[in-house]
Amino acid sequence: MAEDLARKIIELVRSQEEWRGRSTINLIASENIMSPLARALHISDFAHRYAEGDVWHREYQGAAYIDEVEDICLKLASEVFGAKYVDLRSISGALANLAVFFGLASPGDPIASLQVPCGGHISFREFGAAGCRGLVVHDIPFSHEDMNIDLEALSEVVEKAKPKIITLGGSLFLFPHPVKDISKIASEVGAYVHYDAAHVLGLIAGGCFQRPLEEGADIVTASTHKTFPGPQGGIVFTNREDVFSRVRPAIFPGLVSNHHLHRLPSLAVTLLEFKLFGKEYAKQVVRNAKALGKALYEDGFKVLCPHKEFTESHQIAVDVTRFGGGASAAKRLEEANIIVNKNLLPWDKVSMVESPSGIRIGSQEVTRYGMKEAEMERIAELISDVLRGRRPIEQVKSDVEKLRREFPSVHYCLNIEEYEEVVGFLSYALGIKLSE
């Protein structure tokens, strides 16, 4: 029985690999794929260990190699993200946000953040991490037309509410936020500017989005697995020693004990690869998102912000009310192996469980597979085929799989075949002989 169940689990994982890993066009904006080398190093003895404490100063013995790898990671992250102080022990982006809320505010303090339909993440809100810390959340006013923060209205909110933290960034994030102006507004009431770069970390590091620290943000949090194509995890960085010294204890010993060490070798390799190929990758991600937006718009879809070339990030947002709403559209696209998520748009009054009017589309993963503007036009056509019901779903699905098969390997990374020692390592780690 146990053996049968084990076989079933293996089969399920293999099916995931075959379906999501090899047969779909994945356009979920919060996901990405690691490079083969980063993936290979995700399976190691690091996954079994503890290393509480700071690098070189651990609470546990046996951390010599972990210290070395984490030290490499910290140095590379500092360089790639342009920050003096880095902590990568929060195991997710939401947890990194919670650490900021713990470090820089107290229960009952006001903060300001975007509402979820305007792009705010759940962790910014009273029902998420901000609420867990007992913070009182004020809305950052948002222009639906420009899909960006309404500075004048924000000024009034800040003057009245006197937030301790202004949280910027978001999950639906098409255009850079006006960090410079907001940091001026914040300084008038002594608020910290916290920038959540979960979605755009790879674009920032690749020099294709704003540089929040240089523009005046006090602290940045992020996930390491969205446009930055590393292992799933979180990161916090800043150039302010005083801010770091308040947030760091909230991460450890506050919120994290074991920081999921198997992430570290993969993160180090991804950072290294980003130094080599990150600029080229980030540029293509944005080009592809714009191309996809343009192709869908020219086909008659209501892509948001045509007057601003749709986006400056990896995302575009499409109002699919005419096509049955976000939930129905995403479901039908899934049947054709095109994976997107339904998304609230700023004017939506419904909740996520009801049907939001939009879908959100991200170009970062298909870019990693080497797709360019020409393929974005093909993807737009496939999306249109499904949503307009122009062709049988099965036929579109077969074309989707064909397109995906044309781009089998990950680009913008080191060539795993040049590192033969990896096969020996994997076989050693698993205790089995690996063959083709």
Ligand X SMILES: Cc1ncc(COP(=O)(O)O)c(C=O)c1O
Using CB under 6 A, pick the residue from 42, 121, 194, 262 that binds ligand X.
Answer: 121
Stretch that binds ligand X, among 41-49, 136-144, 168-176, 298-306 (CB under 6 A): 168-176
Q: Which of 245, 183, 246 is nearest to 218 (CA)?
A: 183
CA-to-CA distance for 86 and 74, rounded, in angstroms? 6
Residues in binding contact with ligand X, number by CB under 6 A: 14
- The radius of gyration of the chain from alpha carbons, rounded to an integer in Å, stands at 22
- Residue least distant from ligand X (Cβ): 93
Only one of the segments 193-201, 235-243, 259-267, 295-303 lies at the binding site for ligand X (rule: CB under 6 A); that segment is: 193-201
Which uninterrupted H or E stretch holds 358? strand 358-362
Task: In angstroms, give the least distance from the CB of 270 to ligand X.
Answer: 15
Contact 77, 88 (CB under 8 A): yes
- Taking the C-alpha atoms of residue 306 and residue 146, their distance in angstroms, rounded to an integer, is 10
Cα distance between residue 56 and residue 131, in whole Å: 35
Q: Are 28 and 362 in contact (CB under 8 A)?
A: yes
> Which residue among 163, 229, 231, 234 contacts ligand X (CB under 6 A)?
234
Nearer to ligand X, 121 or 342 (CB): 121
Closest separation between CB of residue 260 and ligand X, Å? 12
208 lies in the site for ligand X, by CB under 6 A: no
Q: Which of 42, 138, 199, 332 binds ligand X (CB under 6 A)?
A: 199
> Which of residues 223 and 266 has its CB atom nearest to ligand X in the complex?
223
Q: Cβ distance 6 to 382 under 8 Å? A: no
Neighbours of 3 (CB within 10 A): 7
Contacts to ligand X from residues 67-96, by CB under 6 A? 92-94
CB of 223 to ligand X, least distance (A): 3
Q: How many CB atoms lie within 10 A of CB 300?
A: 10
Q: Minimal distance in Å, beta carbon 170 to ligand X?
A: 5
Q: How far is the CB of 421 from ligand X (least distance, A)?
A: 31
**CA 139 remoteness from chain centre:** 23
- Nearer to ligand X by Cβ, of 223 and 384: the residue is 223
Our CB check for ligand X shows the closer of 314 and 332 to be 314
By CB under 6 A, tell whether 169 contacts ligand X: yes
- Strands 358-362 and 341-343: what pairing? antiparallel
Residue closer to ligand X by CB (options 201, 291) is 201
Residue 123 touching ligand X (CB under 6 A): yes
Where residue 239 falls (left for φ over 0; alpha for ψ -120 to 50; beta otherwise) is alpha
Closest by CA to 174, choosing from 316, 332, 333, is 316
Site string for ligand X, 11-40 (x = CB under 6 A): -------------------x----------
Does 341 contact ligand X by CB under 6 A?
Answer: no
Q: Which stretch binds ligand X (CB under 6 A): 53-61, 149-157, 163-171, 373-381?
A: 163-171
Is residue 313 part of the contact set for ligand X (CB under 6 A)?
Answer: no
Q: Which residues contact 153 (CB under 8 A, 6 or more apart)?
A: 141
Nearest-angstrom CA–CA distance, 158 and 172: 23
Task: Give CA–CA dist 192/176, Å, rounded.
Answer: 18
Interface residues toward ligand X, by CB under 6 A: 30, 92-94, 121, 123, 169-171, 196, 198-199, 223, 234
